[in-house]
Structure 1
Amino acid sequence: MQNEIKIIINKVRQLLSTVFKHQNEQLPYIVISIVAILIVIGSVNVFIELTQNLKTNALAEFDTIITDYILTYRTPSLTQYFIYITNIGDVFGYLIVFILSNLAFLMIFKNWKYVIQLSVVLVLALSSNLILKRIINRSRPELEHLVTVETLSYPSGHAMTAMAFYGFLIYLFYTFRINPILKIGIIILLTFLILSIGISRIYLGVHFPSDIVGGFIAGFIWVILCGLIFNFIRVFRKDPRTKF
């Protein structure tokens, strides 16, 4: 056992010495990675803190105030709009956007890398949301549900998956070398879509606002974490000197 630990320590030491030997090239990645890790740690702490306070009076009051405010805007036309938006954040909506996005990636970049990355983010978000729902076991709001729901409430699967999936698309488009106006337009559109999907769940009476906040935080964690991992893979594959 001691020999195995020594081998691991030596490998880590060799990795660090190799990376810092070429710090002029690798330093930006190191700094970005440290910042990303700190963001992930902070986001996880906020999510845990929010989860621990789900049954407090303060959070219940927050949920009530926000929900009552949003429900005052219920109209037939707005209801139809939010039903449409919430369907975009459902299985078939993601399937359509997923196929269109991946076709665009393959046609423009002729590379499966982005297809695989987007698939990984989507699978991680969906599977982890189901696990979190079962562990936390929060019931839905006792309001009129304007759409059919079958799962538990916290964190919101729509909000979490929207933030993870569309948030990672924002990250990808941010890194693409395309027309700046087109890039900004797409980022604004996807950001608006994420927020609209979250609001739609409150408007339709199937989620507490804290469900949405929790879902957004959890989805954001996957965006940062997956972006960090994929960048590490790219750096290590690009520079053979940084191999373990």
Structure 2
Amino acid sequence: MKTAAKALLSRVEFPVLLAGLVVAAGLWGFVELMEVARATTPHAFDAEIMLAFRQAGQPGIPIGPPWMEGAMRDITSLGSTSVLVLITAATIIYLLLIRRPGTALLIFVAVAGGQTLSSLLKLGVDRPRPELVSHLVNETSLSFPSGHAMLSAVTYLTLGSLAARFLHGRTTKIYVLALAVLTTVLVGISRIYLGVHWPSDVLAGWCAGFAWAMLCWLAARVLQRRRVVRDDA
């Protein structure tokens, strides 16, 4: 039994194993957070974290210098639908110009699928926006999971993971992936700072987004092995 397990592990590449663990952890985390979202009253950690971003006793005034609010609005726009569609469209057009239709289709399916999944999850949970603090931007959609957090994870991590396969050198690959993760994290934090999402909404968006992005990355590896998607830049 142990010999068979060792033989199986020897055939599985470490990046693939790590991606599988990310998918499993993301799904588990999302299910746990969904229970928090369906509770009739906000969880204590949701309220405490949201209030930590506001001045004591003044839920309408965010912490930080005056320019911080504007900076957070700029950061949150990196996860908006219009910006992500623009980035995705530009990438797809570039791939078509260099005759990589398979990769272009993969990116389209990854991002469009993530958008569809996010909308379905919002309808399934039906959680309203938080009213604990004032909203610094206008939002009309449902709250759980955070679409900005999820779609920024889907888009930036999908593009980053695919780009890393085309780059040479471990340092360059780590830099690209770290930049994708950092952008995703900043977008999520900005949603809490602006008061339009509970922390559990953002965490759930990250869990679902990371899991979906890693599934797309695994699909890309399979397609590259089968020569459907080319492995060169």
CA RMSD of aligned residues (A): 2.9
Does the CA contact (< 8 Å) of 1:74 and 1:203 recur in 2?
no
The yes-or-no answer on 1:123 pairing with 2:112 is yes
Unaligned ranges ≥5, structure 1: 1-22, 239-244
Whole-angstrom distance in 1 between the partners of 2:224 and 2:115: 25
Counterpart residue number, 1:40:
23
| 8 Å contact kept, 2:36–2:43 | no
Aligned-pair distance for 1:37? 4.0
Q: Distance in 1 between matches of 2:44 and 2:115?
A: 29
- The 2-side partners of 1:113 and 1:121 are apart by 12
Contact 1:59 1:210 survives alignment (8 Å): no
Alignment of 1:89-128 (within 5 A): 89-106=79-96, 110-128=99-117
Q: Following TM superposition, by how much is the alpha carbon of 1:211 offset from its aligned partner in structure 2, in angstroms?
A: 0.3
Output the TM-score relative to the length of structure 2. 0.79
Give the match for residue 121 of structure 2: 132
Counterpart in the other structure of 1:196:
186
Deviates more, 1:222-231 or 1:210-219: 222-231
Aligned to 2:4: none
The share of aligned pairs that are identical, in percent, is 29
C-alpha distance 94-179 of structure 1, shift in aligned 2 (>3 A)? same
Aligned to 2:219: 229
**Partner in structure 2 of residue 27 of structure 1:** 11
User: Could you tell me how far apart the structure 2 residues matched to 1:111 and 1:131 are?
Assistant: 30
**Do structure 1's residue 162 and structure 2's residue 146 form an aligned pair?**
no
Matches for 1:54-93 after TM superposition, within 5 Å = 54-55=37-38, 60-72=43-55, 73-93=63-83
Runs (5+) with no aligned partner, structure 2 = 1-6, 56-62, 229-233
Deviations along 1:81-106, whole A, 9 cap, x unmatched? Answer: 11111112112211232234335545
Are the aligned partners of 1:167 and 1:223 in contact in 2 as well (CA < 8 Å)?
yes
Cα deviation for residue 32 of structure 1 reads 5.7
Which one is further off, 163-172 or 175-184? 175-184
Aligned length, in residue pairs: 213
SS at match of 1:53: helix
Alpha-carbon shift at residue 69 of structure 1 (Å): 1.8
Between the aligned partners of 1:195 and 1:112, the Cα distance in structure 2 is 30
What CA distance in whole angstroms lies between the structure 1 residues aligned with 2:135 and 2:26?
30
Cα distance, 1:57 vs. partner?
9.3
Measured after TM superposition, the shift of residue 176 of structure 1 is 1.4
Tell which deviates more after alignment, 223-232 or 159-168.
223-232
Provide Cα deviations, 1:199-241, integer angstroms capped at 9, x if missing partner.
1100111000000000000001111111222222332347xxx
- Normalized per residue, the structure richer in helix is 1
The CA distance in 2 between the partners of 1:58 and 1:105, in whole Å, is 47
Q: 1:147 deviation in Å?
A: 0.9
Q: What's the CA shift string for 1:43-101, capped at 9, x where partnerless? A: 21221122123355997111112112223424431111111111121122112322343
The answer to whether 1:53 aligns with 2:42 is no
